[in-house]
């Protein structure tokens, strides 16, 4: 009897142990399944969306592990386009046009002239009308259009600042004219002349306007200044004539004398070795003059059009990908000898 009870107790212990082991096994499997399932869910959560763009130009949109893979949209300050004037009318016309500070503006079509309040509105109107004349004039002459952004808005900025030598420069947004009081007063003395020419439909700012038309093309500076000078001397009647010869150019020089000057080395910056910058410009003009003389005026325009085809392609080589392509021959040997370009053949 005692043996039978002992046997029954042992059987009971074995059954209980088996159940506990089975229970632990099932629990372990459930935990493992839970971990696996949790890892899968975790992988899905720890990834950024394909795009965080909130279509707001005044926010910086980003996502990575430090944001817990959630999109962030941080304000960009200052930002032109948020309807808050944070800078000035020149930096952001749309936000600051009603709060111009030292500047006023006038506009017509796509042209906006922003001018210092010390300028008369009549002078600003002259620049506005001249720009409106020059745009279609150069479109016809160069057979290309303005860069896309300027079709919507062309900015002409008239600044009055303390500067010894006034100058103008062109960009892909328009033209900026930096004047001092003396140059402004001289401009006022020529007001009748400006108004007469505008009435005749003459483009008075051919040089800078040409820069604007090719401002987003891969044109080197020397060719850019040469083309702008070419526009000045070739596209309308001009009392100034520059004769391009084999060894140099002949004409009225910086010193007011008619004489021949050797060509500048265009691979070097202008005003090299103390020579007047205008002599460098005339050498650049003669590069285009050489193209016109040997290949015809239409070829000059074809090169300009090829530049336009390469707008924003700043890796394009001016000679290899533009000039020689249009001419269907390599002219770098002669341009190197005459004008010092390209720097490397």
C-beta separation of 203 from 141 below 8 A:
no
Query: How many Å apart are CA 241 and CA 238, to the nearest integer?
Result: 7
For position 20, what pLDDT does the model report?
A: 44
36-45, 134-143, 175-184: the lowest-pLDDT one: 36-45
At 120, is the secondary structure helix, strand, or coil? coil
> Would you say residue 278 has pLDDT above 50?
yes
Q: Does residue 40 carry a pLDDT above 70?
A: no
What pLDDT is stored for residue 85 in this prediction?
84
Mean pLDDT of 214-228: 97
Determine the pLDDT at residue 81: 81
Write down all domains in the chain, each with its CATH number in brackets: 52-84 (no CATH), 95-212 (3.30.2010), 217-345 (no CATH)
CA distances from 12 to 3, 20, 146 (A): 14, 12, 97
| Token duo for residue 101 | 């500070």
**To the nearest whole number, what is the mean pLDDT of the chain?**
87
Above pLDDT 90, what percent of the chain? 68
Label residue 19 by pLDDT band (50, 70, 90): very low
- Does residue 116 sit in helix, strand or coil? strand
Residue 345: per-residue pLDDT: 56
Two tokens, residue 12 = 């009971």
Q: What is the pLDDT of residue 86?
A: 78
**Predicted pLDDT at 45:** 57
- Residue 340, judged by CB atoms within 10 A of its CB (0-12, 13-18, 19+), counts as middle
- Give the mean pLDDT of 79-90: 82
């Amino acid at each position: 009897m005692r043996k039978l009870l002992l046997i029954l107790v042992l059987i009971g212990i074995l059954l209980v142990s088996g159940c506990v082991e089975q229970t632990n096994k099932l629990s372990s499997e459930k935990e493992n399944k839970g971990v696996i399932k949790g890892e899968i869910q975790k992988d899905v959560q720890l990834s950024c969306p394909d795009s965080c763009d909130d279509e707001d130009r005044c926010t910086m949109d980003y996502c990575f592990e430090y944001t817990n893979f959630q999109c962030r949209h941080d304000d960009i300050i200052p930002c032109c386009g948020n309807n808050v004037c944070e800078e000035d009318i020149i930096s952001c016309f749309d936000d600051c046009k009603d709060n111009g500070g030292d500047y006023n503006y006038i506009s017509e079509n796509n042209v906006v002239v922003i001018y210092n309040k010390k300028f008369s509105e009549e002078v600003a109107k002259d620049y506005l009308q001249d720009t409106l004349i020059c745009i279609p004039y150069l479109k016809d002459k160069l057979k290309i259009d303005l860069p896309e952004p300027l079709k919507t808005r062309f900015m002409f900025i008239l600044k009055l600042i303390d500067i010894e030598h006034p100058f103008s420069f062109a960009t892909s947004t328009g033209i900026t004219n930096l004047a001092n009081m003396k140059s402004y007063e001289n401009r006022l003395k020529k007001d009748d002349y400006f108004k007469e020419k505008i009435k005749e439909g003459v483009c008075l700012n051919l040089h800078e306007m040409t820069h604007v038309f090719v401002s987003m093309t891969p044109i080197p500076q020397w060719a850019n200044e040469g083309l702008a000078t070419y526009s000045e001397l070739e596209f309308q009647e001009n009392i100034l004539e520059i004769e391009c010869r084999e060894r140099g150019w002949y004409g009225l020089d910086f010193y007011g004398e008619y004489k021949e000057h050797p060509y500048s080395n265009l691979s070097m910056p202008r005003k090299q070795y103390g020579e007047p910058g205008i002599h460098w410009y005339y050498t650049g003009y003669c590069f285009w003059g050489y193209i016109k003389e040997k290949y015809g005026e239409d070829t000059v325009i074809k090169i300009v059009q090829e530049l336009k085809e390469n707008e924003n392609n700043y890796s394009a080589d001016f000679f290899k990908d533009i000039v020689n392509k249009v001419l269907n021959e390599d002219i770098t040997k002669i341009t190197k000898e005459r004008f010092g370009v390209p720097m490397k053949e």
